[in-house]
Chains A and B, each alone.
Chain A
Amino acid sequence: MSDNTNEDFIDFSEFIEEFISIDTYMESHFEHQTVTLHVEKITTETPCQLHVEVDDKGEVKLGSIPPLYYVETSFMPVFHNIKINFELEENN
């Protein structure tokens, strides 16, 4: 994002990458056995704050974050809603 924006906002692509940076396998050890699970589909829905910048050419730049502040105040930030479906893909 450019220098004049709230530095708490991250690029929208990073927002998505953060969601996906999860370990594909979850392992659990029981005595001499290991149980492995993998998540096939993740559906996430969260309120988010958006920061929409427009430059002189009319091009838009997007910044976003999940809600930052949890204390209720008289002026609450505007929360938009984002729902993303992730699916597991096998890479050949």
Chain B
Amino acid sequence: MATANRSWNLESFLDSLIVELDKARETLAIKAINKPLTYAVKDVNLEMQLFPSFDGDNVKFITAQPGQEGASKIAIQLGSITDQQIRKTTKEPNTAQDVSIDLIDEIDTDTKNTLRKIGVTSVNDLDKIQKKNVDLLKASNKKVDYGKLASLLNKARRTENPPKVGNVNFNISRSTSTINVEGDNLIFDEKYTPVAVFNGEMVKLTSASKSNLQIQINADKVKEEDNELIVVSDPYTVFKMKLDNNN
């Protein structure tokens, strides 16, 4: 239940203020259909009487109540900018392949806050920093080590994009026999060389991509039922299949 006179953080307040301004703009857009001229909000300047508080990590505000004296004054000025300016000055939203660090439970709040302060909010952001050879340990005042984080983040990214097996076919012939696995996210990070085991023996992957695996097998090892194929595509992913070969 929403209650009044509770402290709020600036981000939530601004979100709410912007949503309200957007609502007003939508109403104006409807009005504009029938009127050749309408008024648009150019800028808003809101000065508020507040009491700020700081708990060591976050600053929160509470609006002054009647009879309370000594409140601080905070002024928020919102101007209107074009969509082009927004694109230029803001980061692109996280893609489906990316993972927000907020969603990774294994990372503690302190580390998340430290990363956010240096502009890292997703796994891709961290990758970009690593590519530029930024010393994360130094940039975060010895609070975050890339080595420790990287595996945690890659694991999280893999969990968000699990392998999906669609079809598996046996191609048995005298010369070369193969198993053809079709699906999605079978190989996620090409940095790692995948490994496959068929009925207890290591087998060779002749090709491996995101949607297809070609595995060379020995035709003599193929049973009619309960063939076991295990694929290790990266350090975080092992998938096992029970395959029947009923012709």
By a CB distance below 8 angstroms, the chain A residues around B20 are: 11-13, 16, 62
Instruction: Using known A-B contacts A42-B39, A60-B16, A91-B37, determine if residue A53 contacts B44 with beta carbons closer than 8 Å.
Output: no
Q: How far is A56 from B28 in the complex, measured between Cα atoms in Å?
A: 32
Interface size grouping (class) on chain A = 35 or more
By a CB distance below 8 angstroms, the chain B residues around A53 are: 2-4, 6
CB pair A90 B39 closer than 8 Å: no
By a CB distance below 8 angstroms, the chain B residues around A75 are: 66-67
A55 at the B interface (CB under 8 A): yes
- Residue numbers of A with Cβ under 8 A of B are 2, 4-5, 11-14, 16-17, 20, 22, 24, 38, 41-42, 50-56, 58-62, 75-91
CB pair A60 B12 closer than 8 Å: yes
By a CB distance below 8 angstroms, the chain A residues around B239 are: none
Q: How far is A49 from B46 in the complex, measured between Cα atoms in Å?
A: 11
> Given known contacts A17-B27, A88-B39, what 20 new A-B pairs fall within 8 Å (CB)?
A2-B2, A13-B22, A20-B38, A41-B42, A52-B8, A52-B63, A55-B3, A56-B1, A61-B16, A62-B20, A75-B67, A77-B66, A78-B66, A78-B68, A80-B47, A80-B49, A81-B48, A86-B41, A86-B42, A91-B33
Pick from A4, A14, A38: contact of B3, CB below 8 A: A4
A36 to chain B, nearest CB (A): 12
Q: How far is A55 from B67 in the complex, measured between Cα atoms in Å?
A: 25
B7 at the A interface (CB under 8 A): yes
CB pair A89 B38 closer than 8 Å: yes
By a CB distance below 8 angstroms, the chain A residues around B3 are: 4, 53-55
A50 to chain B, nearest CB (A): 6
CB pair A83 B44 closer than 8 Å: yes
Instruction: Using known A-B contacts A2-B1, A16-B24, A52-B13, determine if residue A85 contacts B42 with beta carbons closer than 8 Å.
Output: yes
Q: How far is A43 from B36 in the complex, measured between Cα atoms in Å?
A: 21
Pick from B12, B41, B49: contact of A16, CB below 8 A: B41
CB pair A59 B12 closer than 8 Å: yes
Q: How far is A89 from B38 in the complex, measured between Cα atoms in Å?
A: 5
CB pair B63 A50 closer than 8 Å: yes
- The chain A residue with its CB closest to the CB of B62 is A52
Q: How far is A36 from B13 in the complex, measured between Cα atoms in Å?
A: 41
Q: 20 A-B residue contacts at CB 8 Å?
A: A5-B4, A16-B41, A24-B35, A24-B39, A50-B63, A51-B4, A52-B4, A54-B3, A59-B15, A60-B12, A60-B15, A62-B17, A78-B68, A84-B44, A85-B41, A86-B40, A88-B39, A89-B37, A90-B36, A91-B38
